[in-house]
Amino acid sequence: MFISAHKLLITTDSIQYYPDWSYASFITRIAFKLMGFKIGMNIGGPWLKRVTPKKQSMENDFRDLLKLDFDALIAAHGKLITTGAKTLITTEMENRF
């Protein structure tokens, strides 16, 4: 979902932001690392694997997402980003693809 008046992007499992793992248990931290998550912005690896058609890439879909005019992010997982979300997602996308 995209709310242009507030430059707000709302995502589900696709994009997640964890500024720290202080709220996570030891077991959760291990699980995060095993699933490929890190501190900071993440394109959810398990989500990406599940939704990407065989022998294809979701890169163009993320490039289309970056055409939207947003600055804030509310993700289903992680912390709210009130400013700078597009820059963080751009960097994560470049690292992922």
- How many angstroms separate the most distant Cα atoms in the chain? 40
Residue 9, φ and ψ in degrees, nearest 5: -110, 135
Average pLDDT over residues 7-20: 93
Average pLDDT over residues 50-79: 94
Domain count, the chain: 1
pLDDT for 3 beyond 80: no
Q: What is the domain range of residue 78?
A: 2-96
Q: What is the pLDDT of residue 6?
A: 75
